[in-house]
């Protein structure tokens, strides 16, 4: 093996026709190898692309030893590929390198899977060998997109005068509504740090410090169940600004988001983004994160059918419920398909599902016998029904009808291969959510300002807050709010949440104290970068855009974390594993 310390002077992807006749040195991995009657073709891959090289093993005997994924440095002359072997689809497809010198820099064992996107490899194996998985074109592209997104975000925000300030990751708990990840303190045995669920309180205190515009690509930790596409740790683009309000936040984010989209997808997206109130999205789409790439909106026909002779309609409305439905179009659903939709609706909490098909100027359904001709006509009108259209109706309480129809709308209408981007600001969220036991919890977080403090005190269940979400294609990309900057109002929120002054003092006293020393009005936002990238890259899971993610059960098959630790280590921390928590040997 020849000793070299200069490995290359040219990237593989740059070996194009412009270089014909030049001697170049390239370095990378053996991507493909073909033996053709005494001549060996090696496709050499580096971070920039792939170039074909041609070895005559009678001159370069080492050529025989090359295997897939060996790392080599090659010196040779760029020449035109012979007629008929050119590949116009490849950046370097018109040329090849005639190899004059070959150095094998590193051998490779047979890989556990082929680095070929077409080969289905189970995710656990991909994660166990993530470093190899990241060699595949798809994953390398995702990594590059991630880096491009970071760069674009920083460029825009630096340009707008934002300051990048880092905040600690060993902190006292931040209340974002999830379980904290804890780190035991060795120096103060029996005490624990929490990993930040977000830098929320620190960024607010930076406003007290006089920082005017803050941002950070911040790592956040939430110990949530893995029921959906979540990770224990994720990154957010975290922002805060003093003397700032909703309009300023929106304008800045639209600039950041559209620049990222432009850089990654080369598309310019229209701004300002559409806006809807929380009340409106819940009524029209049954969810606070509607996918606006398609219509199929929920129609409320309660008024229309309040006086119906059909008891299900009239009694539901009379008892304060609603009758709502969606027109799912001419799907031509069979009886059994409708039965399974009904089962689905029930599993989502509905008492039942009524299905009607538009036929001429009437409706076909098992319930049409209860509906007058006029009622049928106005129903068709309400849903803008065309012959063949299928209407699905739910008579229930507003939250149940909304949730069930919202979910059916998604399942029946969400486009599969549609890479449109439909952004939406959802504004005017309530301050609080009413829990099943009647207690209140913050709809965003407890530092969010109400629109009207008096209204919040007198009717907390319906009071509106100054918080907002950004939604993209049915996913919540991020959320933020105008904050409370008056410590008195902050205490009132704690009171309404049932947090006693003592408890508030114990948990948030350190933060509220800061608000007493001259706090500018401030507002902010955080964008979940992993989810944003997954959508931009057309990936279903955020794990595809995270360099080293955990599995859905929170493990890392590559390093084997989480692991047990030595008793000695635990002792030093003053920590013992409870007997019932001891994992099986």
In angstroms, give the least distance from the CB of 483 to ligand ASP: 8
Tokens of 512: 């509220």
Is residue 200 within the footprint of ligand ASP (CB under 6 A)? yes
Closer to ligand ASP by Cβ: residue 273 or 429: 429
The nearest distance, CB 142 to ligand ASP, in angstroms, is: 23
Choices 125-133, 359-367, 519-527, 571-579 (CB under 6 A): range interacting with ligand ASP: 519-527
76 near ligand ASP, rule: CB under 6 A: no
Candidates 479, 490, 519, 537: give the one binding ligand ASP (CB under 6 A): 479
Residue 400 or residue 526: which is nearer to ligand ASP going by CB?
526
CB atoms within 10 A of CB 150: 16
**Residues 6+ away with beta carbon under 8 Å from 44:** 12, 26, 27, 28, 29, 30, 31, 50, 51, 52, 53, 72, 74, 97
526 binds ligand ASP per the rule CB under 6 A: yes
Pick from 530, 560, 554, 557: nearest CA to 123: 557
Binding of ligand ASP at residue 287 (CB under 6 A)? no
Among 481, 490, 491, 537, binds ligand ASP (CB under 6 A): 481
* HSE toward the beta carbon, residue 227, CA cutoff 13 A: 2
CB of 262 to ligand ASP, least distance (A): 24
Binding span for ligand ASP by CB under 6 A among 77-85, 95-103, 114-122, 524-532: 524-532
- Which of these segments, 20-28, 141-149, 154-162, 473-481, binds ligand ASP (CB under 6 A)? 473-481
Contact present, 289 and 471 (Cβ < 8 Å): yes
Identity of the residue, 472 or 526, whose beta carbon is nearer to ligand ASP in the bound complex: 526
Q: Give the shortest CB-270-to-ligand ASP separation in angstroms.
A: 25
DSSP string, 93-136: TTEEEEEEEEEEEE--PPPSS-S-TTS---HHHHHHTHHHHTTS
Using CA atoms, how far apart are residues 354 and 565, in angstroms rounded to an integer? 57
The residue (of 423 and 525) whose beta carbon lies closer to ligand ASP is 525
Q: Nearer to ligand ASP by C-beta: 83 or 225?
A: 225
Rounded Cα gap, residues 425 and 274, in angstroms = 6
Nearest distance, CB of residue 447 and ligand ASP, angstroms:
8
86 Cα distance to chain centroid? 41
Q: Does 480 engage in binding with ligand ASP (CB under 6 A)?
A: yes
CB of 505 to ligand ASP, least distance (A): 22
Considering only 10, 53, 198, 231, the residue that binds ligand ASP (CB under 6 A) is 198
C-beta of 508 vs 525, nearer to ligand ASP: 525
Q: How far apart are CA 406 and CA 35, in angstroms?
A: 58
Which one of residues 524, 532, 535, 546 is an interface residue with ligand ASP (CB under 6 A)? 524
Q: Considering CB under 6 A, how many residues would be counted as binding ligand ASP?
A: 10
Going by C-beta distance under 8 Å and a sequence separation of 6 or more, which residues neighbour residue 399?
A: none
Q: What is the per-residue DSSP string for 223-292?
A: ---TTSS--SEEEEEEEEEET--HHHHHHHHHHHHHHHHHHHH-----SSPEEEEHHHHHHHHSSSS--T
Strand ranges (E), 312-387: 322-329, 354-359, 362-364
Residue number, 407 or 481, with CB nearest to ligand ASP: 481
Residue range at the interface with ligand ASP (CB under 6 A); choices 178-186, 304-312, 520-528, 536-544:
520-528
From residue 157 to residue 186, what is the string marking binding to ligand ASP with x (rule CB under 6 A)?
-------------------x----------
CA dihedral 190, 196, 199, 201 (to 10 degrees): -40
**Which residue in the set 215, 310, 525, 532 belongs to the binding site for ligand ASP (CB under 6 A)?**
525
Q: Which residue number has the CB closest to ligand ASP?
A: 198
Q: Which is nearer to ligand ASP, 281 or 526 (CB)?
A: 526
Q: Which of the ranges 184-192, 409-417, 449-457, 475-483 carries the binding residues for ligand ASP, by CB under 6 A?
A: 475-483
| E strands present in 513-583 | 522-528
Q: Determine the interface stretch with ligand ASP among 281-289, 313-321, 374-382, 476-484 (rule: CB under 6 A).
A: 476-484
Q: Which of residues 223-262 bind ligand ASP (CB under 6 A)?
A: 236
Task: Give dist(CA 488, CA 504) in Å, integer.
Answer: 12
The b-or-e profile of 225-236 (16+ CB within 10 A means b, else e) is: eeeeebbbbbbb
Helical (H) or strand (E) element with 54: strand 49-55
Q: State which residue, 196 or 321, has the beta carbon closest to ligand ASP.
A: 196
Minimum separation from the CB atom of position 499 to ligand ASP (A): 18
* Residue 433 binds ligand ASP, judged by CB under 6 A: no
Is 476 a binder of ligand ASP (CB under 6 A)?
no
Helices 200-208 and 501-515 sit at what angle, rounded to 10 degrees? 40
Cβ–Cβ < 8 Å for 288, 282 = yes
- Contact positions vs ligand ASP (CB under 6 A): 176, 198, 200, 236, 479-481, 524-526
């Amino acid at each position: 093996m020849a000793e070299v310390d200069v490995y290359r002077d040219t990237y593989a992807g740059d070996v194009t026709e412009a270089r014909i006749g030049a001697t170049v040195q390239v370095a990378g991995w053996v991507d493909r190898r073909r033996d053709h009657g005494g001549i060996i073709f090696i496709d050499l891959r580096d971070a920039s692309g792939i170039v074909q090289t041609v070895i005559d093993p009678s001159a370069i005997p080492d050529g025989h030893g090359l295997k897939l994924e060996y790392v080599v440095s090659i010196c040779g002359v760029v020449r035109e590929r012979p007629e008929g072997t050119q590949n116009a689809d490849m950046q370097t497809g018109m040329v090849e390198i005639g190899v004059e010198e070959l150095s094998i820099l590193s051998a490779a064992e047979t890989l556990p899977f082929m680095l070929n996107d077409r080969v289905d490899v189970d995710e656990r194996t991909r994660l166990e060998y993530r470093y190899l998985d990241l060699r595949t074109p798809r994953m390398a592209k995702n990594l590059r997109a991630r880096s491009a997104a970071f760069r674009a975000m920083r460029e825009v925000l630096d340009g707008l005068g934002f300051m990048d300030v880092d905040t600690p990751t060993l902190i006292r708990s931040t209340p974002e509504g999830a379980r904290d990840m804890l780190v035991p303190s060795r120096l103060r045995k029996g005490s624990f740090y929490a990993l930040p669920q977000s830098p929320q309180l620190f960024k607010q205190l930076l406003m007290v410090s006089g920082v005017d515009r803050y941002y950070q690509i911040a790592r956040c930790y939430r110990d949530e169940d893995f029921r959906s596409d979540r990770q224990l740790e994720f990154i957010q683009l975290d922002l805060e600004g003093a003397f700032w309000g909703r309009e300023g936040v929106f304008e800045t984010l639209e600039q950041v988001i559209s620049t990222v989209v432009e850089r990654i997808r080369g598309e310019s997206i229209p701004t300002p983004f559409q806006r809807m109130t929380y009340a409106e999205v819940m009524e029209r789409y049954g969810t606070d994160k509607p996918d606006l790439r398609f219509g199929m909106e929920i129609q409320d026909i309660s008024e229309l059918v309040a006086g119906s002779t059909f008891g299900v309609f009239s009694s539901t409305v009379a008892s304060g419920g609603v009758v709502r439905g969606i027109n799912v179009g001419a799907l031509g659903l069979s009886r059994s398909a409708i039965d399974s939709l009904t089962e689905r609706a029930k599993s989502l909490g509905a008492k039942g599902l009524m299905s009607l098909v538009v036929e001429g100027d009437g409706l076909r359904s098992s319930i049409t016998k209860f509906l007058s001709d006029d009622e049928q006509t106005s129903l068709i009108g309400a849903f803008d029904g065309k012959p063949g259209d299928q209407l699905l109706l739910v008579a229930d309480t507003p939250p149940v009808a909304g949730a069930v129809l919202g979910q059916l709308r998604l399942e029946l209408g969400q486009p599969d291969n549609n890479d449109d981007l439909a952004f939406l600001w959802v504004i005017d969220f309530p301050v609080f959510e009413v829990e099943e036991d009647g207690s209140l919890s913050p709809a965003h977080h407890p530092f969010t300002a109400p629109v009207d403090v008096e209204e919040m005190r007198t009717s907390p269940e319906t009071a509106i807050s100054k918080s907002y979400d950004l939604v993209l294609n049915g996913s919540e990309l991020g959320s933020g709010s105008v904050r409370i900057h008056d410590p008195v109002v902050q205490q009132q929120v704690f009171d309404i949440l049932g947090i006693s002054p003592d408890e508030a003092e114990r948990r948030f006293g350190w933060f509220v104290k800061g608000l007493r020393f001259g706090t500018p009005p401030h507002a902010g936002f955080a964008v979940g970068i992993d989810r944003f990238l997954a959508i931009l890259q057309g990936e279903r899971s955020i794990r595809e855009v995270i360099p080293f993610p955990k599995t859905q059960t929170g493990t890392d098959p590559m390093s084997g974390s989480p692991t047990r630790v030595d008793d000695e280590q635990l002792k030093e921390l003053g920590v013992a594993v409870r007997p019932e928590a001891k994992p099986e040997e």
